[in-house]
């Protein structure tokens, strides 16, 4: 149908009425019916292939299951080949003999127990500050001395006495964790002193004390009722408080941690058994799968046979990744949940969905939440508050990338300039991946 619309002296505009969607669908149905009734029985119609992007197909579950089957078959073949070639190499008693009879196993143990001196030293410093017996400058110098002891003494002992790598790694891990915890401990107490001094300057002692306590309190569920439980500065400066913080699975200190109402015994037993079984599985895989490949990889590296070196590296990649995944679940899920349940620590977010990471930044921010929170709270926010740009503060925040490698490096030999350059290259990878994700 054609209509003529006139606007004064303007020429007529011819407008055509478009077919409605109902008419189009009706026409398509008639066409389909005619094709079905055609004598040649047509079966073709215009359509894209299923894997084409224009098709919009997203259900690939069957292909995913097929890849899982291929992965199981290929790894099963490798496991069978390993058993035929080397036999059963798993010996749990070997680890016990390695720990008990190796003379290099004991110095790291002594180091770990000696860290209690640094804990007590930190508590003593905070008590002196709260009592007004030392100034902030002297306290800061004492804290630097304490941190230097924590960071320098364990690596020196490990390198000088040629200690066992297993016990050395545990001692260095304990020293690094304690360093991060005590930094947070001193910074939070410093913030509390600043707030306390500010409230005193406002000369509203009676009202400000209740406000200060309320700001540090939390609510705990007891018998179905909300009961306020709080600790205020300097009442937190005692042995129970600092040792609870040392053993609780977090690196960020608070005066009042979220607590669970009770210990769930079934949950605790499940996580504890998981932790024991996974630890045995990790050690067994290392003995049976990883160690033989590493021994056979020495000769290609000595002869600088690059094709053989590449083949050995690819062969090491599969057990290495598998053991790494098992270690992640063992530590961040089973072990930390076991400790948190014993300590009644209610915040159980130790990791996020790092497996969905599209950038290196997202991976490092989500696979280790305690370290990420520490960096965000005690590095990123203080640096940006002092006027540093967010980009530069973000680089400082990701200092834990080379520090992880620094701890492992001290197990074997001192850190060289070449090794340090490799570790700092991790930050460049982080920046490059962030750039490509943002602009491409």
Domain count, the chain: 3
Do 279 and 242 have their domain in common?
Answer: no
Does residue 215 lie within any of the structural domains? yes
- Let me know if residue 64 belongs to a domain: no
Do residues 436 and 405 both lie within one domain?
yes
Instruction: Let me know: does 397 contact 380? Beta carbons within 8 Å.
Output: yes
Q: Is 437 a catalytic residue?
A: yes
Per-residue pLDDT, averaged over 196-224, amounts to 58
Separation of alpha carbons 81 and 374, rounded Å? 45
145: its two tokens: 């001395």
Sequence-ordered list of residues with C-beta below 8 angstroms from that of 113, at least 6 positions apart, any chain: none
Residue 44 lies in a domain: no
Q: Are 111 and 170 in contact (CB under 8 A)?
A: no
198 and 313 co-located in one domain:
no
Say if residue 129 is in the same domain as residue 222. yes
Residue 326 and residue 377 in one domain: no
Same domain flag for 108 and 240: yes
Please state, rounded to an integer, the average pLDDT across all residues of the chain: 79
End-of-domain residue from the set 343, 366, 401: 343
Average the pLDDT over each of 25-34, 309-318, 334-343, 351-360 and give the range with the smallest value: 25-34
pLDDT at site 422: 47
Residues 292, 251: Cα–Cα separation, whole Å: 37
State how far the alpha carbon of 203 is from the alpha carbons of 198, 199, 200, 218, 232, in Å: 9, 7, 5, 26, 19
Determine which one of 186, 218, 372, 437 is catalytic.
437
202 and 130 assigned to the same domain: yes
Say if residue 338 is in the same domain as residue 360. Answer: no
* Domain with 140 in it: 102-247
> Which helix H or strand E contains 229, and what residues bound it?
strand 225-229
Residue 344 pairs in a beta bridge with: none
Residues 158 and 223 occupy one common structural domain: yes
* pLDDT tens column, 278-290: 999 999 998 888 8
Q: Is residue 39 part of a domain?
A: no
pTM of the predicted structure, to 2 decimals: 0.76
Give Cα 426 to chain centroid, integer Å.
16
List, for residues 103-135, the tens digit of each pLDDT value.
767 888 888 999 999 999 999 999 999 998 999
Whether residue 138 has pLDDT greater than 50: yes
Q: What is the pLDDT of residue 166?
A: 82
Closest to 395 in 3D by CA, of 354, 350, 416, 364:
364
Residue 420: pLDDT band by 50, 70, 90 thresholds? Answer: very low
Q: What is the spatial distance between Cα 92 and Cα 343, in angstroms, rounded to a whole number? A: 30
Report the C-alpha gap between 290 and 294 in whole angstroms. 6
What residues does 3 pair with on adjacent strands?
Answer: 15
pLDDT at 262 over 90: yes
Say yes or no: 241 and 282 in one domain. no
User: What pLDDT digit, counting tens, does each position of 302-339 carry?
Assistant: 888 888 888 888 888 888 899 999 999 999 999 999 99
In this structure, are 278 and 407 located in the same domain? no
Domain for residue 116, yes or no?
yes
**What mean pLDDT is predicted for residues 37-42?**
76
248 pLDDT above the threshold of 90:
yes
Contact partners, residue 88, CB within 8 Å, separation at least 6: 288
Bin 5: left if φ > 0, else alpha if -120 < ψ < 50, else beta: beta
């Amino acid at each position: 149908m054609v209509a003529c619309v006139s606007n004064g002296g303007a020429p007529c505009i011819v407008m055509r009425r478009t077919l409605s969607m109902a008419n189009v669908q009706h026409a398509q149905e008639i066409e389909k019916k005619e094709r079905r009734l055609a004598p040649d029985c047509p079966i073709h119609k215009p359509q894209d292939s299923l894997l084409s992007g224009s098709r919009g197909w997203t259900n690939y579950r069957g292909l995913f299951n097929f890849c899982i089957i291929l992965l199981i078959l290929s790894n099963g073949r490798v496991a069978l080949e390993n058993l035929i070639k080397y036999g059963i190499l798993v010996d749990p008693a070997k680890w016990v003999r390695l720990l008990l009879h190796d003379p290099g196993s004991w110095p790291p143990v002594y180091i770990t127990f000696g860290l209690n001196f640094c804990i007590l030293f930190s508590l003593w410093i905070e008590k002196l500050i709260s009592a007004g017996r030392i100034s902030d400058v002297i306290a800061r110098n004492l804290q630097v001395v304490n941190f230097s002891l924590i960071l320098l003494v364990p690596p020196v002992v490990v390198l000088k006495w040629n200690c066992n790598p297993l016990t050395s790694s545990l001692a260095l891990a304990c020293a690094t964790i304690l360093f991060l915890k005590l930094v947070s401990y001193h910074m939070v107490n410093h913030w509390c002193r600043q707030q306390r001094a500010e409230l005193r300057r406002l000369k509203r002692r009676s009202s400000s004390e209740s406000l200060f306590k309320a700001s540090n309190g939390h609510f705990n569920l007891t018998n179905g009722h909300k009961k306020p439980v709080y600790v205020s500065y300097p009442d937190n400066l005692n042995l129970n408080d600092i040792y609870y913080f040392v053993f609780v699975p977090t690196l960020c200190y608070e005066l009042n941690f979220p607590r669970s109402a009770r210990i769930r015994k079934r949950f605790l037993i499940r996580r504890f058994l998981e932790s024991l079984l996974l630890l045995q599985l990790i050690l067994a895989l290392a003995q049976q799968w990883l160690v033989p490949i590493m021994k056979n990889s020495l000769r290609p590296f000595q002869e600088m046979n690059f094709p053989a070196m590449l083949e050995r590296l690819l062969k090491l990649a599969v057990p290495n990744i598998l053991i790494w995944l098992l270690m992640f679940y063992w530590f961040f899920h089973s072990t930390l949940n076991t400790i948190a349940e014993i300590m009644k620590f209610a915040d159980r977010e130790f990791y996020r969905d790092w497996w969905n990471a599209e950038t290196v930044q997202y991976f490092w921010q989500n696979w280790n939440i305690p370290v990420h929170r520490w960096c965000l709270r005690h590095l990123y926010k203080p640096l940006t508050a002092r006027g540093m740009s967010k980009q530069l503060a973000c680089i400082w925040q990701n200092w834990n990338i080379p520090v992880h490698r620094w701890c492992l490096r001290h197990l074997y030999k001192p850190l060289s300039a070449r090794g340090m350059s490799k570790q700092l290259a991790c930050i460049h990878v982080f920046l490059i991946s962030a750039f490509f994700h943002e602009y491409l």
